[in-house]
Amino acid sequence: MPVRLRGAATALLGCALAVAGPASAATSANLTAKILQAFAGVKSYHVTVLGSVRSVGVWEAPGKYQMTTEFNGKTVKTIIANGTLWQLVDGKWEKSGTASNNLRVDVAGLIHTLKSSPGATLVAQSMEMQDGKRVGTFEYTFDDGTEETCNYDLGTYRVTRCKADELTLLYSEYNDPAIAIKVPK
């Protein structure tokens, strides 16, 4: 009798470990399709960036960000529009070059990368708890080896949080009609 219980316990543990690991390639491909479909209708969102500095801002399709960053006790306001970087200096917007490629770890950059890389898929992971709510999880590895882990809402498939390197990005208020980024001229 004890041998059977031990065998049954081992089998149950094996099943539990299988459920906790990464999902199959078919499940990951299905998740990728659902995430891409969910973001096809996204026109804007709020984003908070936590890392060595804290930034809050918004994204508006196609490729515009407006961010406020606290840096060394100063507030820095920026707009990125299709790769061009603008900074608010002495109350006036000044063009200050081009944006770095680290924006690709933002969910809009991740979606763009998935669309432009044939065969690229997210790797589905086990579900997690976030703020007392069950969420889905996936991982993605960019061409340069940067890894990102994201959580998404199980009903909408919209991303709620991503972690890459030493950054955490929090997403909320998708398709907020108040978001309208005015690009300087």
pLDDT of residue 27: 82
- Rounded Cα distance between 81 and 169, Å, is 19
- Rounded Cα distance between 92 and 88, Å, is 5
Query: In CATH, what number is assigned to the domain containing residue 81?
Result: 2.50.20.20
* Residues spanned by the domain of 113: 22-172
Give domain status of residue 43, yes or no. Answer: yes
Terminal-residue alpha carbon distance, the chain: 80
Give domain status of residue 15, yes or no. Answer: no
pLDDT of residue 102: 63
Residues (pLDDT < 70) of the chain are: 1-26, 101-102
Give domain status of residue 2, yes or no. Answer: no
Angstrom distances, CA of residue 1 to CA of 26, 29, 162: 40, 44, 48
pLDDT of residue 64: 92
How high does pLDDT run on average in the chain?
83
Give domain status of residue 115, yes or no. Answer: yes
Give domain status of residue 136, yes or no. Answer: yes
pLDDT of residue 36: 93
For 110-144, the DSSP string reads HHHHHHHSTT---EEEEEEEETTEEEEEEEEE-TT
Listed in sequence order, the residues at least 6 apart from 39 whose beta carbon sits closer than 8 Å to its beta carbon are 107, 111, 158
Half-sphere exposure of residue 7: CA atoms within 13 angstroms, side-chain side: 4
Give domain status of residue 4, yes or no. Answer: no
- Give the chain's domain count: 1
Give domain status of residue 179, yes or no. Answer: no
Give domain status of residue 66, yes or no. Answer: yes
pLDDT of residue 12: 27
pLDDT of residue 63: 87
Q: Which amino acid is at 180?
A: A
CA-CA-CA-CA torsion sign (111, 117, 119, 124): negative
Backbone angles phi, psi at 40, to 5 degrees: -60, -30
pLDDT of residue 24: 64
